[in-house]
Amino acid sequence: GAGVSQSPRYKVAKRGQDVALRCDPISGHVSLFWYQQALGQGPEFLTYFQNEAQLDKSGLPSDRFFAERPEGSVSTLKIQRTQQEDSAVYLCASSLKGEGSPLHFGNGTRLTVT
Amino acid sequence: QQPVQSPQAVILREGEDAVINCSSSKALYSVHWYRQKHGEAPVFLMILLKGGEQKGHDKISASFNEKKQQSSLYLTASQLSYSGTYFCGTGFTGRRALTFGSGTRLQVQP
């Protein structure tokens, strides 16, 4: 596709529900990142994939958060037993190669936990 | 380890210039600059790599002072389309992910 695609664009979940957020990166991009952005703040790193390998998950806030990229393209971020503090915009970004490559961001998924 | 951006917000008239600063307490490998408009994805502006270079395109340029671990983004003759929140993202050797600052909100008025 032309850019990074994320779905759904908006998600409302009741506290305790599980959610799955999808990211379709630019074709051929090796690196994929998930970031969490709270209102009025900069993106905060969650996790990083190089192809299908999850090389860094140091930013995941708890074991309720899980991400996968099984075939090295589409990625899913899953949040189990959602809490109100999980409400944020979840941004996915991809880049062509290693260090020094620009990140191409999707429009994000706005998650609201009620 | 989050970089510090200044100022937090700035209001300009069309045609005026602005400088946005980004400082890190840790040795930097790279600095990225992005602009985000409300409700949209951050858009890449430029990357500066270790080496103190200056880059630019159109009326937006940036510098990277390796000794001071600082980068500055220069916006000259600002246009209405420059409005948005500017983020610097810092890269460190051995860590692929960027760490972003909390942003500088820029508003250009007619």
| pLDDT (tens digit per residue) in A13-68 | 999 999 999 999 999 999 999 999 999 999 999 999 999 999 999 999 999 999 99
B9 touches chain A (CB under 8 A): no
- For the stretch B16-56, pLDDT in tens is 999 999 999 988 888 999 999 999 999 999 999 877 666 67
Of B29, B40, B100, the CB nearest to A42: B100
From the list A44, A43, A51, the residue with the least C-alpha distance to A25 is A51
| Spatial distance between the Cα atoms of A29 and A73, rounded to a whole number of angstroms | 8
Question: In angstroms, how far apart are the furthest CA atoms of chain A?
Answer: 40
Stretch 23-82 of chain B: residues touching chain A, C-beta under 8 Å: 29-30, 32, 34, 39-44, 47, 49
| CA–CA distance, A46 with B74 (Å, rounded to integer) | 30
| DSSP secondary structure, A54-109, as one string | EEE-TT--STTEEEE-TTSS-EEEEESS--GGG-EEEEEEEESSSTTPPPEE---E
